[in-house]
Amino acid sequence: SDKGCLLVANHVSFLDPPVVACSVYHRGVCFMARDTLSNTWLGKWYFNGIGAVALDRTKGDVGALRKAISLLKEGRTLGFFPEGTRSPDGELKTAKAGVGFLVFKGHVPVVPAYIDGTFKALPKNATRPKLSRISIRYGQPIMPDDLKNMGTGKEAYEKIGMLIMSKIAELKPKQE
């Protein structure tokens, strides 16, 4: 499809963006990434090369969110981790308000995903990866019309964030 969409997933490892990007090989995926990742020449070269949108996490970076919305309206696929940072224990955290704003203003389908195995392979603060089976499960898209009754403003953004995290949680594999 030539319509933009937002891919939202849990975030536990630096491996998560490549897992998402490789799993949708038929579409190029650009990501929101914290601006400090491009502080070095190598980081700047890499993140510019993949079309990442730099996000200043020290403030509500409306400029970065507006840039992301324009990419969605151009028909691009945007990868986004609603928790805002990697989970230190592998468990789902609450969504930051920015994802609700992005979804509300972007008016595109939102595809939830759950990434499994990257925490075991390369958790936060690990220095080297371990061998691990990695998988990603995608859920049914949340369509813009599904969000009509969420209201407006900050309250709506929070409700959208909670809905997205619940859809991601539903995709988590059951423990044997």
Measured from the Cβ of residue 53, the count of other Cβ atoms closer than 10 Å reads: 21
pLDDT (tens digit per residue) in 45-64: 877 777 778 777 676 677 88
Global pTM value? 0.87
Alpha helices in the chain (DSSP H): 16-23, 41-49, 62-73, 97-106, 118-121, 153-170
More confident call, 51 vs 78? 78
pLDDT (tens digit per residue) in 15-27: 888 888 888 877 7
Q: Name the β-bridge partners of 59.
A: none
Per-residue confidence (pLDDT) for residue 54, from 0 to 100: 75
Mean pLDDT computed over 82-93: 89
C-alpha–C-alpha distance, residues 62 and 137, integer Å: 30
**In b/e form, how buried is each residue of 94-133, taking b as 16+ CB within 10 angstroms?**
ebbbbbbbbbbebebbbbbbbbbbbbbbbbeeeeeeeeee
**82 contacts 96 by C-beta, under 8 angstroms:** yes
The amino acid at 27: R
Kindly state the DSSP code that residue 140 receives in the 8-state scheme: P
Q: Indicate the pLDDT class of residue 135, thresholds 50, 70 and 90.
A: very high
Per-residue confidence (pLDDT) for residue 2, from 0 to 100: 64
